Amino acid sequence: MDRYAVLRIRDFRLSLVSKFFVALGLQMQAVVIGWQIYQLTHDPLALGLIGLAEALPFMGLSLWAGHYTDHHEKRRIIVWTEGGLVGCTFLLMALTAAGNRSPWLIYGVIGLTGVFRSFLWPASSTYIDMTVPQRIYSQAAGWNSTLWQVGAIVGPILGGWVYALSDAFHAYGVMAGLLLMGVLFATRLHPKWPVRVKEESGMAQLWGGIRFVFSHQPILAALSLDMFAVLFGGAVILLPIFAERLGVGPSGLGLLRAAPAVGALGVALYQSHRPVFKRTGVALLTAVAIFGLCMILFPLSKSFVLSLLLLAASGGADNVSVVIRASILQAMTPDHLRGRVSSVNGLFIGSSNEIGAFESGVAAKWLGTVPSVVLGGIMTWVSVAVAAWAAPQLRRLRLESVQGLEGARIRPVLEMPQTGMR
C-alpha cells in the first residue's frame, strides 16, 4: 500500500499545512499569555481564569456551531474563523503596545478566540472527513497527529524564546504571522458543501449530536472519563508558577509546555508501527491511570529535567487516551452528524481543558500549588476507578466489538489543537 497516497490529495495537503501553522500560533499564544498574566498578577487564580475566559464562549456556542457546520460550506467557515484568530492576536499586540496592565482586557480577547474556535473545531474536522477516502483515512490521521505534535513542541519553545529574547509584543507579532499563513493556505481549499439528508426540524436537529452520544454508552463513558481525568488532573495552566520555582523563566516555560507533546509524538510514532490496542477499554483505563500518576509526581519534582520527563510521560499516556476515544467516536458517527458530534466531543474536551484550567487555578489559590496538583492526580485515579466500575461496556470494550456497531470501521478522528495539553 502506498504510504504517501493521502499526501497526493491536494486539499488534504493544504488543510494539513494550514492546521500546522494554526497549531504553532495557538501554542505560542498559550505560553505568551500565561507568562504575561502571571507577571501582571502573580496569582494562580488569574491563570485559571484564562481557561474559563475561553471555555465559556466555546462551550456556549459549541452545539450551535456544530449544527451550523453541518448545514453550511466548510471552507468558508475555516477561513473566517482562522482570520478571526489573526484579528484577536492583533488586539493582543495593541493592548501590549498600549502598556495595558489589566488582565481583564486580555481575558476579553481570549473569550473572543473561544468564539472563533467553537466554529473552527467542527468545520476543520468535518472538512477532512469529506476530503479523504475511508480506505486511507488512517494515513491522514497519522500525518495530522504528527504535524500537530510537532507544532505543539515547536510553538511553546518558540513562544518562550521570543518572549525571553524580546517581549510579548514581538512574540504576538510572530504569532500573527503564523496564523496568517494558516489563513492563506485555507483560502486555496476547494469548497465542501453539506450532505443533505431528511432530518427532524428545529431544536431536534440542534440536539442531534447530544442524543447520539448519550445513546451510545461506550462513547459517553470514554468522553466522560477523559473529561473528568483532565478536569482534575490537568496542571498545564500552572506551569508558569513551576517555571518560576525551578528558576527557568519564560524559555524554560516553553520547554515545560512542549514536553507533553514530545511524549505524545513519541507514543504516536510507536503506535504507527504496531497493531492497534485490541483490549481497547483496558488500554484506555490504563493510560488515564498513568496520566494521573504523572500528575501526582510532577509537582513534587525539584529537578527541571525530571519535571520534563514526567510531563513527557503524561503526554504519551494522554495521546493513547485521545486516539482510542476519538477512534471509537469517529467509527460510529454518520456523515450527516459529524459536525454536531464533533462539537459535542469538543464540548467535553473544552470542559476538561479550559474548565480544568480554571479548577486548577482555584484549587491552587485555596490549597497551594503543589497540594492542588497532587490532589488532582489522585482524583484522576478516582475517575478511572469509577469508570471501570460504572461502565462495564467500556472496561470490556475491544476494537472488534466497535467494528460490529453501525457496521463501521475504526479510524481516528482529526482533532483541532487545543490550548491545553491535547
pLDDT at 254: 87
pLDDT at 200: 56
- Give the span between the Cα atoms of 343 and 28, in whole angstroms: 24
Q: What is the pLDDT of residues 292-311, one digit of tens each?
A: 999 999 999 999 999 999 99
Residue among 108, 144, 58, 51 nearest 417 (CA): 144
Query: How many Cα atoms occupy the beta-carbon half-sphere of 322 within 13 Å?
Result: 29
* Confidence check: pLDDT of 414 > 60: no
pLDDT at 71: 83
- Give the span between the Cα atoms of 327 and 306, in whole angstroms: 32
- Give the span between the Cα atoms of 156 and 144, in whole angstroms: 18
- Give the mean model confidence (pLDDT) for residues 39-68: 85
- Give the span between the Cα atoms of 155 and 85, in whole angstroms: 16
| 96, amino acid identity | T
Q: What is the pLDDT of residues 117-156, one digit of tens each?
A: 989 988 988 898 788 886 776 667 667 777 887 888 888 8
Residues whose CB is less than 8 angstroms from the CB of residue 157 and which lie 6 or more positions away in sequence, other chains included: 251, 254, 255, 257, 258
User: Hey, what domains does the chain have and what are their CATH numbers?
Assistant: 10-188+207-407 (1.20.1250.20)
Window from 16-25, 68-77, 81-90, 210-219 with minimum mean pLDDT:
210-219
Mean pLDDT of the chain, nearest integer: 81
pTM above 0.75, yes or no: no
Where does the pLDDT of residue 403 fall: very low under 50, low under 70, confident under 90, or very high at 90 and above? Answer: very low
Q: Match 488543510 to its residue by C-alpha cell.
A: 15
pLDDT at 405: 40
Where does the pLDDT of residue 393 fall: very low under 50, low under 70, confident under 90, or very high at 90 and above? Answer: confident
Where does the pLDDT of residue 360 fall: very low under 50, low under 70, confident under 90, or very high at 90 and above? Answer: confident
- Give the span between the Cα atoms of 333 and 326, in whole angstroms: 11
**349 or 28: which carries more pLDDT confidence?**
28
Burial 360-390 (b: 16+ CB within 10 A, else e): bbbbbbeeebbebbbbbbebbbebbeebbee
Q: What is the pLDDT of residues 242-288, one digit of tens each?
A: 998 999 988 899 899 889 989 988 887 776 556 556 677 888 899 99
**pLDDT above 70 coverage of the chain, percent:** 79
Where does the pLDDT of residue 1 fall: very low under 50, low under 70, confident under 90, or very high at 90 and above? Answer: low
pLDDT at 199: 53
**395 or 366: which carries more pLDDT confidence?**
366
Instruction: List Cα–Cα distances, 340 to 172, 222, 271, 411, in angstroms.
Output: 32, 18, 29, 18
- Give the span between the Cα atoms of 30 and 160, in whole angstroms: 10
Where does the pLDDT of residue 90 fall: very low under 50, low under 70, confident under 90, or very high at 90 and above? Answer: very high
Residue among 261, 276, 15 nearest 146 (CA): 261
Cα dihedral 203, 220, 345, 339 in deg (nearest 10): -50
Residue among 340, 69, 119 nearest 209 (CA): 340
Burial class from Cβ neighbours inside 10 Å (0-12, 13-18, 19+) for residue 217 reads middle
| 110, amino acid identity | I
Answer for the pair 179, 78: CB distance below 8 angstroms, yes or no: no
- Give the mean model confidence (pLDDT) for residues 342-347: 71
- Give the span between the Cα atoms of 262 and 255, in whole angstroms: 10
* Confidence check: pLDDT of 399 > 80: no
pLDDT at 401: 45
* Confidence check: pLDDT of 419 > 50: no
Using DSSP's 3-state secondary structure scheme, residue 325 falls into helix
Residues whose CB is less than 8 angstroms from the CB of residue 207 and which lie 6 or more positions away in sequence, other chains included: 63
pLDDT at 357: 73
